[in-house]
Amino acid sequence: QVQLVESGGGLVQAGGSLRLSCGVSGPTFTTYALGWFRQAPGKERDFVASISSSDGTTYCADSVKGRFTISRGNAKNTVNLQMNSLKPEDTAVYYCAAGFDAYSIRQVLIDHWGPGTQVTVSS
C-alpha cells in the first residue's frame, strides 16, 4: 500500500539545475529514511544520496558530491534532491527509495521504490 512518487524531472542543458521531489502516498505508521538512485540505459542502478528520518545523517555518492544536495521536505516522508552543475553523464531515470535508515539505503536495503522520473542533460 505504501507508494512513493517522484516529480521534477525533465530536460536541462549541461550546467543547469533541477530539483527532484518525492513523497510517500497513503497512510503510514513509520517515518522513513529516504534516498535517491539513478539508472542510465544499459547500466546498473546506482546510489546517489540518502538522508535519515530524524538525526540529519546524509550520504552522497562521490560522482555527485559538491553538486547535488539531499534534504527532507517539510512534510513527513518527503525528500528533495537539488541537482546543480548538471552534466550529460547525470542523464538517467532517478528513483526515490525508502528504508530503515540512511546507511541501509546506501547499502541498497530498500523497503519501497518509486516508479522513477527521467532526467536528461543535453550537451
Structure confidence at residue 1 (pLDDT): 87
Structure confidence at residue 11 (pLDDT): 98
Structure confidence at residue 26 (pLDDT): 85
Structure confidence at residue 77 (pLDDT): 95
Structure confidence at residue 79 (pLDDT): 98
Q: Cell for 24?
A: 510517500
Structure confidence at residue 28 (pLDDT): 79
Q: Report residues of the chain scoring pLDDT below 50.
A: none
**CA max distance for the chain:** 44
Name the nearest CA neighbour of 108 among 2, 10, 18, 36: 36
